[in-house]
Amino acid sequence: MHQAKILALILITALMVAACAPVAPAPMATPAPAPTEPAAEAPADESPGTIVDIAVSAGNFETLVAAVSAAGLVETLQGEGPFTVFAPTDEAFAALPEGTLEALLADPQGQLTQILLYHVVPGKVMSTDLSDGMTAETAQGSPVTFSIKDGVVKVNDATVIAADIEASNGVIHVIDTVILPPSEEAAEEAPGNIAEVAAAAGNFETLLAAVEAAGLVDTLTSEGPFTVFAPTDEAFAALPEGTLEALLADPQGQLTQILLYHVVPGKVMSTDLSDGMTAETAQGSPVTFSIKDGVVKVNDATVIAADIEASNGVIHVIDAVILPPGE
């Protein structure tokens, strides 16, 4: 019995030792290497075309492309560059005065070339390079001016409607108006002569009829300069009944004298006037100016619109017909 207890104790001790011994890990199977494929090469970035290529593919620069071709500038804009092109849309060209585009295309080496080159700035100018008031010299030689307000970018008077269209030889900014070099712009905006400006205004029909009856049209369309105090149709209508008809019946007499009394040789702007100042008219007698509370009068007539410039002088609109001293 005593021996049996001793054997049981030895067995229990052996089992405890076996339980505490470290267990060797089972060997893991080595996975077979996955078959390798050659890495696919990333496609090379497609280089954009030249400025001309992009303009052609865009589809809304047909007039510009035709003008560039007519002016012989295709090779230039396909050259190395870089160039910055402010590209007017077809709608921008369509907005030019009737007949303008046809006249330009008829003389492609003249004004057309100058206008197109005015839309090109040497170098690559991105929209982020621009600042308000900045200027840049164009390939035509005259500068353009940039303005930026409320996020709207303008080149002279044209609005940039799409920016930073990159080409292999520069960048295109799309604009909504054809811009003109200073000399062309001046020619485009030059007012007509005094008779033409009066005719365009529409409220000087009686004055123009009187000028024509008196044979003074050639005078008022000549070089000048002249300052004309122009009575409106209402001013003539306010004359005593029968007066205008009597004057028109004898255009070389009183009518001519009265009309010439409304003309001062030279160009007198409103800023040249002072209270009490006098000026001799083409009729020979002087007119007198008065200025009070901002109201300018010529004799007894009030100036209701001033400084309407013409190519050969200036018009001041008055509300009454003024008469020379002897009339």
Is the Cβ–Cβ distance between 160 and 153 less than 8 Å? yes
pLDDT below 70 — which residues of the chain? 1-46, 183-190, 327
pLDDT digits (tens, 9 = 90+) for 203-220: 899 999 999 999 999 999
- The Cα 227–Cα 307 span in angstroms is 9
Burial bucket for residue 205 (CB in 10 Å: 0-12, 13-18, 19+): middle
pLDDT digits (tens, 9 = 90+) for 51-82: 999 999 998 999 999 999 999 999 999 999 89
* Amino acid 109: pLDDT: 87
pLDDT digits (tens, 9 = 90+) for 144-162: 999 999 999 999 999 999 9
- The Cα 192–Cα 194 span in angstroms is 7
61 secondary structure, DSSP code: -
Taking the alpha carbons of 149, 152, 154, 158 in that order, is the dihedral positive or negative? negative
* Amino acid 100: pLDDT: 87
Which domains are delineated in the chain? 51-186 (2.30.180.10), 191-318 (2.30.180.10)
C-alpha closest to that of 219 among 284, 320, 313: 313
Mean pLDDT (the chain, rounded): 86
